Amino acid sequence: MAKYSTGSGGNSAGGSCELCGATGDTQTESVAGATLELCRDCAQNHGESGGGPSSSDSPDDQERKRRAAQNAAKMQDSQSADASHWEDGADYDADQLPYLVSDYGARVTEARQEEGLQTDELADELELSEDDVLAVEQGRAVQANVKGSTIVALEKFLDIELADSR
C-alpha cells in the first residue's frame, strides 16, 4: 500500500515509488496537492508537472511537445486577430436586438390576440419564423438570438412599442 510523503525528499536513488511501489530512482512530484516520491512512469502519468518536457523525455518527444504548444499558440493568436473563421457574409452588428421594455412579451401577445391572430398566422403575415415570434412572446428574445428587424416588424404591424427608448 502506498504511503504518503512528508515532502522531505528530492530525487533519490534506490527509493520506492509511493504510488506503484516500484523501486529505483524516484523524483518528488505533486499529485492532487500531496508531495510524493514517484518513479518516472508515475511522475509522467500522475504528477502535476508530468505533462511538460522533462529530462526523461526523448528528444523527439520534447520536440513534438514544443511544436504542439507553438501550433496551439498560433491558432489562438490567429483566431483572436481576425474574424475570418466566422461565417461568410454574416454581419452580426447590422441587425442587433435593441434594448426591450420589461414587459415586451406580454405586449406582443396582447396585441396579437387583439388582431385575432395565432402565432403562426402572425409569423406568416410578417414572413418571420414562428420560433422567433414565440421567443418574443415568451420574453426570451435575447436567448433565442432574435434579430432587431423582427422587433421592428412586430412593432410596425401590431402598432406597439417594444424597444426601450431610454
Domain termination residue (choose one: 25, 40, 55): 55
pLDDT (tens digit per residue) in 10-66: 555 567 888 788 888 888 888 777 888 888 888 887 776 654 444 556 777 777 777
> Is there a domain that residue 108 lies in?
yes
Boundaries of domain holding 17: 1-55
- Determine the Cα–Cα distance for residues 33 and 156; give it in Å rounded to an integer: 62
**Number of domains the chain contains:** 2
CATH number where 143 lies: 1.10.260
pLDDT (tens digit per residue) in 55-95: 556 777 777 777 776 676 666 555 544 555 444 554 556 77
- Determine the Cα–Cα distance for residues 32 and 48; give it in Å rounded to an integer: 8
- Determine the Cα–Cα distance for residues 63 and 48; give it in Å rounded to an integer: 20
In sequence order, the β-bridge partners of residue 31 are 34
> Is there a domain that residue 87 lies in?
no
Q: Is the pTM of this model over 0.85?
A: no
> Is there a domain that residue 146 lies in?
yes
- Reading the block at residue 118, the C-alpha cell is 395565432
